[in-house]
Structure 1
Amino acid sequence: MTDAPLIDPFQRAVNYLRVSVTDRCDFRCVYCMAENMTFLPKKELLTLEELDRVCTNFVELGVEKLRITGGEPLVRRGIMTFFDSMSRHLESGALRELTLTTNGSQLERFADDLWAAGVRRVNISLDTINEAKFAEVTRWGRLPQVLRGIDAAQRVGMRVKINAVALKGFNESELFDLTEWCASRDMDLTWIEVMPMGDLGNEDRLDQYWSLKDLRARLAERYTVTDLSERSGGPARYVRLEETGQKIGFITPLTHNFCESCNRVRLTCTGELFMCLGQEDMYDLRPALRGSSDDTALKEAIRAAIALKPKGHDFDYSRQRPDGQMTRHMSHTGG
């Protein structure tokens, strides 16, 4: 029974683990972090060896997809040793996919090494292709550096998907420009509704909220929009734009509850396992991880956590106040 698959209380198989390897980032995106973030002391973070051990146990329990996130995962010192180590699970066939979500700033440096470690797809968070607006939304970011990272990823053969957060009054006017730019580079595009995560000072999420129902309606004014039945196992729902042939995804936690097919859990860089992005409940794996070199206790802790996975989240903007608002920042759980 030790290595039997992970099944939650609602009979969903959990086969997808998102792992935040750091809470640090070289950007300060306004919907993700405060400008003057207080980061965790480095001693509180799981070591790369501990991350390897936890991920390996999840793979042994049936996790087939591993997505590495942050913060910005590529700013963690020595991170390629972790990717190189995880590649053994790809070679054995136990892991089907090792992927990465990044802001793209370090891809120019790491694209070749990531490809060598088995990374074949990368999601790049990019909300605007206007250089001045990019500097505004990321506070510290430089668009040319990210564009060179995209070039590098495509050059080595990675499939690139752009993730854009829909922000009212910010990138509404770029809807068609961003769509056409992605199409010209053979990149899919996924739009994400802004989520009520963290107290970021003066940012008011209700003012930023741009419904993807409205966004899709605007796309339909210019393109033939065809619904696709495919599911990634994730929250996105997909359409195809017939004129460009590209796939557009919509992640709508606030207007479309996607929980019924949820197959993932999220591990923070400190070893906390969040069974749902929209709930505060978590399970701390550190005592089992650090209390014994025997993996039996760690596997039991993982199973105990999965047994607590809720049926769904509590996000709701329908009453014009962000009910279910989370107090933690997005960077804490890795998006």
Structure 2
Amino acid sequence: MTPYDDTSSQGQPALVDGFGRTVTYLRVSVTDRCDLRCVYCMAEHMVFLPKAQVLTLEELDRIASAFVALGVRKLRITGGEPLVRKGVMGLFQNLGRHLKTGALDELTLTTNGTQLAAFAQALADLGVERINVSLDTLNPDLFRAITRGGDLARVIGGIDAAQTAGLRVKINAVALKDGNAAELPELIRWAHGRGLEVTLIETMPMGEVDVDRTDEYLSLTELRGDLESFWTLTDLDVTTGGPARYVEVKETGGRLGFITPLSHNFCEACNRVRLTCTGTLHTCLGREDACDLRAVIRGGASDADLVTAIRGAVDAKPKGHDFKIARSAGPAVARHMSTTGG
């Protein structure tokens, strides 16, 4: 579905916000829990949600399917770590019906890779064709420090299993000035050598964490300049429907993406919204906007009522986010990325 379509594949008017942007991409968080504690994403001692506040898999299916009926063509399952949610493969199976009807173009997920060895083949069998794996370094000690105890070998094993299952894998790495900046060229070489894409992401001021993000923040404009001191980067006129801007690295033969919410925001073409595991719909990652769809559906709403609530929230989607990094600024939003859905 293009931004110029005015109806969904099921005959509904398209989901268009107040600035004329068509929403075709929904990110669905299925849990706020994770088996890692990455320093830029979570506080070390997180307090997780009680089960009653988290949507059931059936409720997640109902809301996601309502979005598909309204023209959303891409669903990404996120967390926390989505593969730690009990029964989550049943949700993939149920949502896969929209792939079979042609109403949905893609069903995918973002994962930290720790559970991939167990689930990669099943994901492929259910229609998932590509996944994103969050991986910030190939140094086992640094990985352990960034994730507060994670096992790098387990993640690499998960990536191996995903490739064996035929899944296309993209590596997402958060650039940390005093953390992994020196490690990123090695990570890019390694990924490109395996036929994997890499996308670099600026750290975002979401939620209170145990580090000062002004110390962690690294502008990807600055990082690109560093990479160009020894690599040839050629801009590519391609898009995957997301905020990344891509280049080809001549020396590795691979593709590299840059997601720059602070140094160069991407709000003017934003086509996505996010559903948290509690049923809160956020139409902007960097704003405290919210629509409580859990209250709507648990209040006995009809499908028409649910559609009305979704349309109202999307119509109020902000023009852009409020992200900025400064010592006096604090987090742009109080919620952690693990709660919003990474």
Q: Give TM-score, length-normalised by structure 2.
A: 0.95
Contact 2:137–2:184 (CA under 8 A) maintained in structure 1: no
Structure 1 residues 210 and 176: alpha-carbon distance in aligned structure 2, compared to 1, 3 A threshold: same
Which residue does 2:233 correspond to in 1? 225
Aligned-partner residue type, residue 319 of structure 2: K
| Distance of 1:165 and 1:321 partners within structure 2 | 22
User: In the alignment, which residue of structure 1 is the partner of 2:4?
Assistant: none
SS at match of 1:144: helix
Select between 14-23 and 137-146 the one with higher mean Cα deviation. 137-146
CA offset at residue 323 of structure 1?
6.4
Greater mean alpha carbon deviation, residues 166-175 or residues 270-279: 166-175
| Aligned-partner SS, 1:232 | coil
Q: Report the Cα offset of residue 141 of structure 1.
A: 1.1
Q: Which residue of 57, 64, 69 corresponds with 1:60?
A: 69
* Residue equivalent to 2:103: 94
Shift, 1:183, TM fit: 1.2
User: Residues 72-111 of structure 1 correspond to what in structure 2 (within 5 A)?
Assistant: 72-111=81-120
Partner of 2:339: 332
CA deviation after TM superposition for structure 1 residue 320, in Å: 5.6
The match for 1:134 is 143
| Stretches of structure 2 lacking an aligned partner (at least 5 in a row) | 1-6
Aligned partner of 1:216 in structure 2 is 224
Aligned residues: 333
Q: In structure 2, do the counterparts of structure 1 residues 34 and 323 end up closer, same or farther at CA, with 3 Å as the change threshold?
A: closer
More off after superposition, 209-218 vs 75-84: 209-218
Query: Of 127, 149, 152, which residue of structure 2 is paired with 1:118?
Result: 127
Q: Is 1:144 the counterpart of 2:153 in the alignment?
A: yes
Tell me if the contact between 2:208 and 2:331 (Cα under 8 Å) persists in the aligned partners. Answer: no
Answering whether residue 169 of structure 2 is matched by residue 160 of structure 1, we say: yes
Tell me what 1:45 maps to: 54
Of residues 269-278 and 164-173 in structure 1, the stretch that sits farther from structure 2 once superposed is: 164-173
User: Root-mean-square deviation (CA), in Å?
Assistant: 1.3
Call closer, same or farther: CA 1:204–1:320 in 2, change over 3 Å.
closer
Between the aligned partners of 2:51 and 2:322, the Cα distance in structure 1 is 32
1:17 paired with 2:51, answer no
Which residue identity lines up with residue 339 of structure 2 in the other structure? H
2:320 to 305, 312, 326: 312
Shift of 1:292: 2.4
- C-alpha separation between the residues in 2 aligned to 1:145 and 1:324? 32
SS of the residue corresponding to residue 222 of structure 1 reads: coil
Structure 1 segment 198-209 matched on structure 2, within 5 A: 198-201=207-210, 203-209=211-217
Q: Which residue of 1 aligns with 2:254?
A: 246
Which deviates the most, 240-249 or 40-49?
240-249
- Kept in 1: contact 2:73–2:106 (CA 8 A): yes
What does residue 3 of structure 2 align with? none
Distance between the aligned counterparts of 1:182 and 1:91, measured in 2? 32
Deviation at 1:148, TM superposition (A): 0.5
Q: Give the counterpart letter for 1:220 in structure 2.
A: E
Quick one: distance in 2 between partners of 1:214 and 1:83? Answer: 39
State the one-letter code of the partner of 2:332.
Q
Hey, what's the Cα distance between the residues in 1 that align with 2:60 and 2:332?
A: 29
Aligned-pair CA distance for 1:324? 6.4
Is the CA contact (8 Å cut-off) linking 1:167 and 1:208 kept in structure 2?
yes
- Cα separation, 2, equivalents of 1:324 and 1:128: 25
Distance 1:323 1:103 in 2: 26
Task: Supply the distance in 1 between the matched residues of 2:238 and 2:19 (Cα, whole angstroms).
Answer: 22
Aligned residue type for 1:270: T
Long gaps (5+) in structure 1: none
Give aligned-pair identity as a percent: 59
Give the aligned residue type for 2:294.
Answer: R
Q: Give the whole-Å Cα distance in 2 for the aligned partners of 1:258 and 1:233.
A: 12
- SS state of the match for residue 58, structure 1? helix
Q: 1:293 Cα shift?
A: 5.8
What per-residue deviation string (whole Å, max 9, x for no partner) do you get for residues 55-90 of structure 1?
110000000000000000000000000001011000
Using structure 1 for the length normalisation, give the TM-score: 0.97
Structure 1 stretches of 4+ moved >6 Å: none
